Chains A and B, each alone.
Chain A
Amino acid sequence: MSGNGARGRGPQGGGHTRGDGMSDAGPLDLPSPRALAARRVLGNARAVTGLVLLGLLFLLAFAGPLVSPWGHDEIDFTAFRRPPSPEHWFGTTGSGRDVFALTVRGMQKSLLIGLCVAVLSTGLAAVVGAVAGYLGGWVDRLLMWGVDLLLVLPWFLVVAVLSPALGGRWPLLIPLLAAFMWMVTARMVRGMTLSLRHREYVLAARFLGVSTPRIIARHILPNLASLLIVDASLGVSVAIIAESALSYFGYGVRPPDTSLGTLIADGSGTALAYPWLFGFAGGLLVLIVVAVNLTGDGLRDVLDPAAPQHPRPRPRPRTPRRYGGRT
């Protein structure tokens, strides 16, 4: 038995009245939700593995150039298309550039683009979808009209047209890519919000006078956390690949700068003959995706309300009830 014996014997047993001297007992001693979440993330093996791996990858990307004997834009005219050696750790390309220097340089771009685009687009999808679904009416119609419009726009062409305006400022790629990745998720979020908004706990919050932004932030979005986390994890790889497609056609990161996607695209044609041109960039991309997915899975476990401390089968209600309908 889990402490059932001490349950209150109704109000008579305790003789509680409002403010009957309980106030001097001091406030409740509760850990803050944030501290609790942090503790649980650190207790989750998958989340910890994913986060450590991500940390190492960032370290490699940003500390790599400092220790590399070659810069990414330097050319070694004595070594064309050489396999890995003590001089060139990951080998060299056909034009004599150091693959290690290129790879870590590309990783910087890809990590930043992948993570930022994923977070940005999922965040946008969450807010737009939840606002549209929760408020309904003309707000919903307007936002969904915008979503449909963006869905039919050929994003590749738009980016290609805007690309000259970027003028090589690659960080601008982040909002540009994010702007075209959130729509399908927004529609899913809206659909799930439509069913959540008639849940009794959402109604209860509304009838208690809780404001709409707060209801969306505290009751709607947390209950969509699984969907959003999966979406963001997928978004990282999608963004990295989309960026490489753009770069391949010369619209994204431009030479002599580079990205993982560009390296993979360049190296894939000769992958069998010169595996180092392709293998290191490809392997690191896989590692990034694995790290992100591990972190995502771990976070999902941590945020799952079914997991916490006191698992006890709950009685099934006899007459399930649905509130609302159309309002």
Chain B
Amino acid sequence: MSVLTVRDLHVTYPPGVRAVRGISLEVGAGEVLGVVGESGSGKTALALAVLGLSPSGADVRGSVRLRGRELVGRSDAEMSLLRGRDIAMVFQDPLSALTPVHTVGDQIAETIRVHAGATRRAARTRAVELLDLVGIPDAPRRARAYPHEFSGGMRRRVMIAMAIANDPVALVADEPTGGLDVTVQAQILDVLRVAREATGAAVLLITHDLGVVAGVADRVMVMYAGRAVETAPVDQIYHRPRMPYTIGLLRSLPRADGTVRPVPIDGAPPSASAPPAGCAFAPRCPVALARCGDTVPEPAPVGPGGHRAACFNIEATADLDAVFPHRPAARRPEAPARHRRPVVLQVEDLVRHYRQRRGGPVHAVDGVTFDVRAGETLGLAGESGCGKTTVLMEILRLARPQRGRITVFGEDTAALAAADRKRLRRDLQVVFQDPFSSLDPRMRVADILAEPLSAHGMPGPKIQLRVRELLGVVGLQEEHACRYPRGLSGGEAQRVGIARALALEPRLLLLDEPVAALDASVQAGVLELLDELRARLGLSYLFVAHDLAVLRHVADRVAIMYHGRLMEIGAASAVYQRPAHPYTRALLDAVPLPDPLRERKRRRIPLQGDPPDPFAPPAGCRFRPRCPRYTALRNDALRRRCETSDPALHVLDPSVDRQVACHHAEGAK
């Protein structure tokens, strides 16, 4: 018996934005339906319509039934009675869902009292029980805290507690782990599992991340341009996908095990205001037929377990490799051994503390040492707030650091004159995370690309030629030159950011999460471009990312950062296969695998707690409060070393390129 049934749902936002174009789905009690799609595919519009929360002016047609009762067309008053009791929601942004002026305990108790009519005391007791259930430590005390006193991960837990307070029959979670670190994401997914078991609710789990869905969902629905293009049991989707878009999406995912190179889907999704007449995927589909452009394919059964796909050319997708074939990696010229190549960037014991108006200083970077040699990519990874971006900004300032030394192409930044600094800037460039905020909204692409050139005194006519050339280098067309950033898609905007960084023909590129804001299918394209450029232009990269799966495919060496310090650094393949530091191991454990079978079998040691506040680190090892290896130590003498002495990076084995900051590192042979 399905609890939540959606039939032929259409949502249109003014002016004529067709966000959802005919979606049907069913979710049974205790079942999790994962809804996956790229940004703009209409996932949020679907969630809002199901909850009766569509913005005013939106036109919602079709049917949404909750245990047989029709929800579409109900008044706001009726819907708010249902919401919170029979159907509940978890959103991406918990701060907007929690009232800042009440304690979280009161807010949860309030929903219980409103909907279940419990007494004040009973409601409070239940609120504390719920907070305990979702894993808030010391729940009776924390119930009296205000939302802003919780970290991002803890706030999500509070939201989930609130959502399940009245034993809803259906739960809608829109990007419940969006914007969280993998370690915290793993915790929240565990809480969602607990919540489902505690309530037996039907769960609609909406996300852009196929890795998230693999371990949690029973069935998966893939959305594209407002339509469901494929629906199947979770194993089917990952192992026998039939619709070309699903196949492309899976192929474009970077994997932390590094087995297959991600393959991008070329092109971009269609605009929601003018959806194409036929199959919306046709312009990007490698196996499109002639009639795909005219007729919309309807979902049809293609396999066991209610596996349905909307595609005319199912025959062509029997062999997955044929649809999106693997592309070979860019061939890099034979490089001499690492120790023979020149050092392009050297950072020694770099320190950056920010003074605060109140409280102690923020230890953003607290003694970091590494080097980058010509032609290689060093990946810098770690949870958000650990100081990765600060390291980049300190290098880019090309000034004397608070402590330590930065040497760029053999020149000490502390000793640079203004003219030297400007000259060095030609060799050292940066690409930022958010492609839109790094492009001036008031300048056209051509002017953005021309700016560094004219700043370094290139004459006007040559600038025009170089701009045209740069557009070509990053795979953009000339028509993009006169657009404003607003008129670009995310992938295009990031290509402009890369082109600008390449304008002065740098030798070293610092990349700050260059693909984190992009959808997987577009992300793979940008990664491929970066790989290509490095090989062709002989660049070196310092590549910052929080996503270890992405780094696996680009980095030759990786450095793992925690609380302003490096925990481990070494050759990428070795670090991924045999992490020596417990933190590296925990990070790798938390990366979701886009493979339901292996995801279920995985033996995890989930990392507890949140990323630390960047204030003064604890005595001894700074990772100790969260360290599973320390917790497992039985010998007092060994424990005392962790408690009293701050481990420095040290070489484990002289024959291996690996340094670890842990007293009890695992052998890294």
Contact = CB atoms under 8 A, between A and B. Distances in A.
A, B from the same assembly: yes
Interface of A: 1-14, 16-19, 22-23, 25, 27-28, 30-31, 33, 199-201, 203-205, 207-211, 214, 218-219, 222-223, 303, 305-306, 308-321, 323-327
B442 A204 contact: no
Contacts of A201: 437-440
| Residue of A17, A218, A319 with highest tally of chain B CB at under 10 A | A319
B40 interface: yes
B465 A27 contact: yes
B455 to A, nearest CB: 4
B633 to A, nearest CB: 34
A23 B516 contact: no
B504 A321 contact: no
Given A14-B475, A23-B469, A214-B455, A318 B178 contact: yes
Given A209-B452, A209-B455, A210-B451, A28 B468 contact: yes
B469 A18 contact: yes
Contacts of B389: 321, 323
A319 B384 contact: yes
A30 B482 contact: yes
Contacts of A324: 393
B433 A319 contact: yes
B179 interface: yes
Contacts of B438: 200-201, 203-204
B468 A27 contact: yes
B283 A1 contact: yes
B408 to A, nearest CB: 12
Nearest to B452: A208
A303 to B, nearest CB: 7
Contact of B533 (A11, A13, A205, A222): A11
Contacts of B274: 1
A209 B425 contact: yes
Interface of B: 39-40, 178-179, 264, 266-268, 270-272, 274, 276, 283, 327, 354-355, 364, 384, 389, 393, 396-397, 422, 425-426, 428-430, 432-434, 436-444, 446-447, 451-452, 455-456, 461, 464-465, 467-469, 472-479, 481-490, 492-493, 497, 500, 503-504, 512-513, 516-517, 519, 525, 528-529, 532-533, 536-537, 546
Q: What 9 A-B pairs are tightest by C-beta distance, nearest first? A: A310-B487, A27-B464, A8-B475, A200-B438, A16-B472, A317-B517, A209-B425, A208-B452, A305-B441
Contacts of A5: 267, 283
Main secondary structure of the interface of A (DSSP, over half): loop
A208 B469 contact: no
A301 to B, nearest CB: 14
Given A22-B468, A201-B439, A208-B500, A17 B479 contact: no
A312 B487 contact: yes
A167 to B, nearest CB: 45
Given A200-B432, A208-B504, 7 more contacts: A11-B528, A11-B536, A203-B432, A207-B396, A218-B440, A310-B484, A325-B354
A200 B467 contact: no
Contacts of A33: 444, 447
A210 B455 contact: yes
A313 B45 CA distance: 14
Contacts of A312: 271, 486-489
Contacts of A199: 437
Given A201-B438, A208-B452, A305-B442, A315 B529 contact: no
Contacts of B529: 10-11
A222 to B, nearest CB: 5
Contacts of B493: 314
A25 B523 CA distance: 31
Given A308-B487, A324-B393, A22 B472 contact: yes
Contacts of B517: 315, 317-319
Given A30-B481, A219-B440, A326-B354, A321 B39 contact: no
